[in-house]
Amino acid sequence: MGSRVNKYRRICILGGTGFVGQHILNRLTNTDFKIRVISRHRERHRELLLFPEVELVTADIHDPQVLKENFSDQDVVINLVGILNQSGKKQATFKAVHVDLTRHIIQACQMKGVKRLLHMSALNADSAKGPSQYLRTKGEAENLVHNAKNINVTSFQPSVIFGLEDDFFNRFARLLKIPPTFIPFPLACADAKFSPVFVDDVAAAFTVAVQNEATFGQRYALCGPESYTLKALVEYTAKLGGIKRSIYGLGDSLSKLQAILLGFVPGQPFSKDNYLSMKIDSVCDTPFPALFNITPASVESIVPSYIGQQSLQARFDDYRRTARR
């Protein structure tokens, strides 16, 4: 559906080494595109060098000059860079990663004549009404890209994304095993709702959108077919993982307290900002956008292939079999 532009050949991806990025790369490498991925740590992603179409560059994307140099011969930019929690480092704050970086990307695209930008946002991103800094800065960035002159922009707002290497089901599978497992697992924001969307469906939407004029100027909310409470999803993870542990949903005050305390734990498994993001349900009002011609995969059709399986190889084989494409 929609008209194809067929004139784009070279794509620069920021955040292409991440969870979603690798799935987008998998899809784009089966096409005619030449792809440049910019990473802070090229040496950690040497597997990407196996793709002949992929050029992996180490550079500091927060330096506007780096963006200009790397965009000068490109047709399309895809920005997937995002963080769920900020650290004290200058280039790891929500403002630096979501807003300032996006502004620099827009300026570099405009200076170097890049006419096509695909931007990753998040469901409920809203610069004014977002309850958390994550959602407000994601909203600010989304507004910046959609107000940018001379660039055809498409943005995507997914709910939580699942797949083999996800940081949602895998994280809960790990957390549930932390002793003492005979006590109920204390779950913050247990009633918050999500419509988890499969990473390969998100990747497919990006790759279809690249050349499709009908997607120019559009913001797409991306959700899976079903909504669940967080408690239901964690109970399902425990069941798949064979973990016999009950889940105790914390009330609002204890959820907030847990968020504040875990915010001090290295790696911030949960933070006050995450707690605030969950004040709004992460569910869509509309089905998966018809233009992409995708029937979104359900949690039940994919997650059992990678949670609770014995070996990594078994998980991989099963996952490859289960994922429909």
Ligand X SMILES: NC(=O)c1ccc[n+]([C@@H]2O[C@H](COP(=O)([O-])OP(=O)(O)OC[C@H]3O[C@@H](n4cnc5c(N)ncnc54)[C@H](OP(=O)(O)O)[C@@H]3O)[C@@H](O)[C@H]2O)c1
Q: Which residues contact ligand X by CB under 6 A?
A: 15, 17-21, 39-41, 61, 80-83, 91-92, 97, 120, 122, 158, 160-161
Report the nearest approach of ligand X to the CB of residue 184 (Å): 26
Q: Are 238 and 176 in contact (CB under 8 A)?
A: yes
Instruction: List, in order, residues 6 or more apart from 124 with CB less than 8 Å away.
Output: 130, 135, 157, 277, 280, 282
Number of helices and strands in the chain (H, E) = 12, 13
Give the CA radius of gyration of the chain: 20
CB of 222 to ligand X, least distance (A): 9
Residue pair 13/78 in contact by the 8 Å Cβ criterion? yes
DSSP code, position 279: T
Cβ nearer to ligand X, comparing 138 with 245: 138
Give whichever of 97 and 189 is closer to ligand X, judged by the CB atom.
97
Q: 3-state DSSP call for residue 178?
A: coil
- Closest distance of CB 284 from ligand X, Å: 12
Is the CB of 100 or the CB of 257 nearer to ligand X?
Answer: 100
CB of 180 to ligand X, least distance (A): 29
Q: Which is nearer to ligand X, 28 or 61 (CB)?
A: 61
* Smallest distance, ligand X to C-beta of residue 67, A: 12
**Nearest approach, Cβ of residue 32 and ligand X (Å):** 24
DSSP E strands in the chain: the ranges are: 10-14, 34-39, 54-58, 76-79, 116-120, 152-158, 161-162, 185-187, 193-194, 197-198, 219-222, 228-229, 247-249
Nearest to ligand X of 86, 245 (CB atom):
86
Residue written as token pair 């979501």: 98
Q: Which of 190, 189, 218, 192 is nearest to 205 (CA)?
A: 218
Cβ-based nearer residue to ligand X, 40 or 244? 40
| Interatomic CA distance for residues 308 and 234, integer angstroms | 13
CA angle 111, 158, 236 (to 5 degrees): 150
What minimum distance in Å lies between the beta carbon of 19 and ligand X?
Answer: 4
Q: Which amino acid is at 78?
A: I
Tell me the closest approach of the beta carbon of residue 64 to ligand X, in angstroms: 14
Q: Is the Cβ of residue 58 or residue 147 nearer to ligand X in the bound state?
A: 58
Please, which residue, 179 or 267, has the CB nearer to ligand X? Answer: 267
Rounded Cα–Cα distance for residues 101 and 61 (Å): 8
Report the candidate in 269, 307, 65, 292 with the shortest Cα–Cα distance to residue 162.
307
